[in-house]
Amino acid sequence: MDSTLVRHRVDIHWSKAARFNAALIIGLLFLSQVAAAQSTYKYIRKHKEDYDDKLVHFGFYYALPFTRYNVTYSPAFLNTADPTLRITSPNNAGFRVGFTFNAFMNDNFDFRSNPGVSIYSRSVNYAVASGDDKSDLRESTWVELPFLIKYKSARRVNSRMYLIAGASVGIETNVRRREALSQGRLNTNTTDLSVEYGVGFEQFFEFFKFAPELRFSHGIPNAFNGGATGTSSAGIQRLTTHTVTLYLNFE
């Protein structure tokens, strides 16, 4: 009789423990589902919700361009007084600053222009047979006026991507052509027309929009305007500008 009572008591304790464990597991599962739901539907504040409702926006930017010339040799390349082995133009860093004008066209396209002032240092290096290598450095300040079309993706809360393409007109402002010719240095044109395209990312904050952008620029006309007779630049037939620029846009 005593053994029967002991067995019943053990069964009672085990059944209570099983019910407790089951309730604990169910409670933990419920809490995990609530936490997952809260993380899934967590509210994220959308900054500047009415941004696209305005037709025109203004801003400013700072930019870091890396620029060079694309060199095309002339038939006289091998007939210079001091035979030239090669003519190259390395990438040089510059600086650009200006303001941005953006006009809304529709949900996917904007018209954009960002006039600015650029400081460039473009150089042409000559490797000659005698080993006395030469270099022509062209430091200049340009006023540039781009005309661009921007294709923008759908906005995802506070961010979106965009593509941009168009053309840009450039005018050099600090021209010293006579001095360059008198010193037998490289002579280049003071105007340029280039094709531009790039990609950017817009991030909306509470009080402004920040948009880093990478843009490529290819000059169309020949920038070479001749050089002094008998110099290494006689081996050049055509120079066109090439620039890769990192923009930091603020609107």
Residues 171-214 have pLDDT tens digits of: 998 766 545 544 556 788 889 999 999 999 999 888 889 999 99
| C-alpha angle 67-132-86 in degrees, rounded to nearest 5 | 50
Lowest mean pLDDT among 28-42, 57-71, 135-149: 28-42
**Considering its fold, how many domains does the chain have in total?**
2
CATH classification of the domain holding 60:
2.40.160.20
Together in a domain, 104 and 62: yes
Q: Give the span between the Cα atoms of 112 and 101, in whole angstroms.
A: 6
H/E stretch holding 237: strand 236-250
73 and 37 part of one domain: no
Same domain, 106 and 7: no
Q: Are residues 122 and 229 in the same domain?
A: yes
Residue 27 has pLDDT above 90, yes or no: no
Q: What is the mean pLDDT of the chain?
A: 81
Q: Are residues 26 and 133 in the same domain?
A: no
67: pLDDT confidence band, cut at 50, 70 and 90?
Answer: very high
How much is the pLDDT for 177? 54
> Where are the extended beta strands (E) located within 10-55?
none
Same domain flag for 175 and 81 = yes
Range of the domain at 8: 1-42
Q: Is 32 helix (H, G, I), strand (E, B) or coil?
A: helix
Q: What is the pLDDT of residue 79?
A: 67
The one-letter amino acid code at 242 reads: H
What is the number of H-type helices and E-type strands within the chain?
2, 11
